[in-house]
Amino acid sequence: MAMARDIPVKKKSHRRSPVVWLLFIALLLSAVAIYFLFRNGIVTLGQPVENPETSVDSLLANPTAVCYTHSPTYKPPQLVRNHYSAVFCDENDIQLEAAMRNGIQKLPSRVSDYKKYGLVKLQDNEYYTISELKYSVPYLVPAARVMLNTIGKCFQDVLAEKYPDSRYKIIVTSVLRTEEDVSKLVRRNRWATENSCHRHGTTIDISYHKFVKISGPDVTDWEMKEFLAKALAELRDQKICYVKYERRNCFHVTLNQLSVDGLSVTPPKMLPVTKKEPDKTNQTPAKTYTNKDAERLHQQDVEKRAQKQDKGDKKTDKRPSPML
């Protein structure tokens, strides 16, 4: 009998069709896009998607709005008491660049209406209190006001972690300064600088020695200073503000950047300062001279010079001769 030949069996190909690969890549890109939408807060579960323009406008218009809440899992940098300058070391040139980017043009002097320059007035609320201002006025750009509210709210949240029954507010000691205010302060305070960030409406000074008690048990001043430093360090890490530790009893804070629903918030630019033109109605017209007047004035000038020279010669004649 003839042996049956082995019939070769065709192996199944494991190659996937291009359609399958395209579907896989599309699903992968969709998953990545959804992840970034949820991460940036543009889309949230169970809540309608708000119009970013409306959200930004409502945030800036609300006098008590905040843009960030304290995270209980945040680990602040090591803060050594009375040595905060190592952490809060944003110098004036860095803060000045941010102030000029986010703020207004400098005002030469105080004005009656600050609203037309895109500024809002600060008033005491649940987060902060404005102290008596001598060399500044309580006005900021809207985004800087949101930053200030956020600092006060974050400070209270950090305080509540250790003292849940105590409530305090921060004290703002300096806000917007005009050129006139800066010149007065420089003459009085040797530490003040003429190139001040306070001129642009984005910078504030917050006291770390004094706080306003609202309710609850007392808390020591050095603990309050530590809580404020932790709150500022967290917001600084979020790139919301720049902070400089001043040894004259305050934190020097400038707005860095603010974002709402993924959009960067920039304050409106100030209207250009127009200089008042001199009133020419009451001015006397310039006097015109003829050739005869010019000759007469020239002759008077020559006579005056001759008289001065004669007086000088007479004085030299009256001098006694030197002793030999």
Give the DSSP letter string of 253-282.
EEE---EETTEE--PPPPPPPPPPPP--SS
Between 285 and 232, the more confident residue is 232
pLDDT at 18: 75
For residues 172 and 208, what is the distance between their CA atoms, to the nearest angstrom? 10
The arithmetic mean of pLDDT across residues 195-203, rounded, is: 94
Which range has the worst mean pLDDT, 121-130, 225-234, 264-273, 311-320?
A: 264-273
Between 192 and 181, the more confident residue is 181
pLDDT at 195: 87
- pLDDT band at 56; cut points 50, 70, 90: confident
- In 3D, which of 156, 189, 196 has the Cα closest to residue 175? 196
Q: Are strands 167-174 and 128-130 parallel, antiparallel or unpaired?
A: parallel
Residue whose pair of structure tokens reads 């006291």 in the numeric block: 207
Overall pTM > 0.85: no
Residues 223-263 have pLDDT tens digits of 999 999 999 999 999 999 999 999 878 999 999 998 655 55
Q: Are strands 250-255 and 203-207 parallel, antiparallel or unpaired?
A: antiparallel
Q: How many residues does the chain have?
A: 324
